[in-house]
Structure 1
């Protein structure tokens, strides 16, 4: 059995399923290219659902990650940190928005967007309390 086959077998044996992944094992990557344990190269057309639009292992991003890891790994939003305010400022300038609210995941972002839409419906649109409805796609990834 190939190394990829062994990896897939052990993953399926011990991992709970939430996706039905392609039968490809990614062992390393650079730019738009990914490679399996057998050395076959594939062009990554998924970009990790847009989280990798800059490609894999971009040198400037790797350097920034290393520099940050040498300083502090993570801070909760229960604290201020020395980089977040400047990031907010740059993001607001780039987008033309007055405020930003970072999220940890797409699911968290969608949930917050739904809450914001409901709040807008009550405050701006004049929807009666507890009467706002959100229409979503059935059986979709995000509710």
Structure 2
């Protein structure tokens, strides 16, 4: 089985990678770190480069976990990107980092994380960044 880890270069993303690698080591499962840039975005501050990708893979290696980094493009439906990856890889767990948002922020912006939490067909482990 495989573990999918949603990753952005943020404290919450780092917490998700840490948790995903711990789960991968405990379960002896492969980890796919997913950094999904928005299709058509000229600039995406959350897209990682080759050096950042290599650093993530080094962290996985140090943890004794077989891992890869994928950067599938997504439109307005990041949830569907994860569902497609679950189908393709046979993943049995999704790990995502959460951050605190106000009620107004959730209403105006929606919540991709909330949709993944509520609608994913596999269990979702949500983590928060250390204070």
Question: Structure 1-normalised TM-score?
Answer: 0.23
Question: Structure 2-normalised TM-score?
Answer: 0.24
Greater per-residue strand proportion: 2
